[in-house]
Structure 1
Amino acid sequence: MTPADWSSQEEQVARHVFDNGRRRSIESLISVLQTKCQELSTDESVWSMHDYLSTERHIFEGRSEFDYNNILFTLADLLKQQLITLEELEGLDPKKLAKIKAMSMF
């Protein structure tokens, strides 16, 4: 998709939901890390934490840019991870909503 495929209202909705999903993703990660930090007791648990954090960083950075070419995939991933809801996406074209919903199931 290109910017021309989006009305100004749709872009506003998508950007707002995208930003909320990113924020919630970090909040969730911080919460998990706080719990995991209390469980650190061995060198192996430290390296395991490092591996976990590296993986999460890779996932986060993969969806950290609002890119018109990938935004439907990104929103679908955020929906699948329960970081956004379909209700938040109201205002998008029904075809875009249907694509996001379908992609979130895989």
Structure 2
Amino acid sequence: MQATDTTWSQTEKQIARTAFNNAYQRELDYLVKTVREQSSSLTEIDDVWRLHDFLSARRHEIDGKYDYRYSVLVFVLASLVREGWLQLSELEGLAADKLAKITALTRM
């Protein structure tokens, strides 16, 4: 992923931060729901280790995905839209060039 030198206005920063935080919370809520469902069927120690491995992998994935550096934020937001954690409508108010880049990247 190539970083960009895009500048962000104060308003755009607020819009992006809100959208970013909402997507992050949605993904965490889904993870908690999934863990609750999986943990209710634990019967053996191997089940516990599988849950542990699942959580470790998800933590690594989530920690790597949610990068709020402005130089990569367009790519991060596009990825969140593509994965369904964010809707393009939540990014209304960003500059047209940023929205166009995000929209194009969601199709890749």
TM beyond 0.5: yes
CA distance in 2, matches of 1:90, 1:28: 25
Structure 2: gaps of 5 or more residues: none
Structure 1: gaps of 5 or more residues: none
Write out per-residue CA displacement over residues 40-96 of structure 1, whole angstroms, 9 at most, x where no aligned residue. 122222121111111110111113341112111211121122111010000111221
Q: Cα 1:36–1:105, aligned 2, differ >3 Å: closer, same or farther?
A: farther
What TM-score results when the alignment is normalised by the length of structure 2? 0.86
Give % identity.
35
Give every structure 1 segment of 4 or more consecutive aligned residues whose post-TM-superposition deviation is greater than 3 Å.
Answer: none
**Cα RMSD over matched residues?**
1.6
1:1-106 equivalent positions in 2, closer than 5 A: 1-2=4-5, 5-106=7-108
Q: Tell me the amino acid that sits aligned with residue 12 of structure 2.
A: E
What TM-score results when the alignment is normalised by the length of structure 1? 0.87
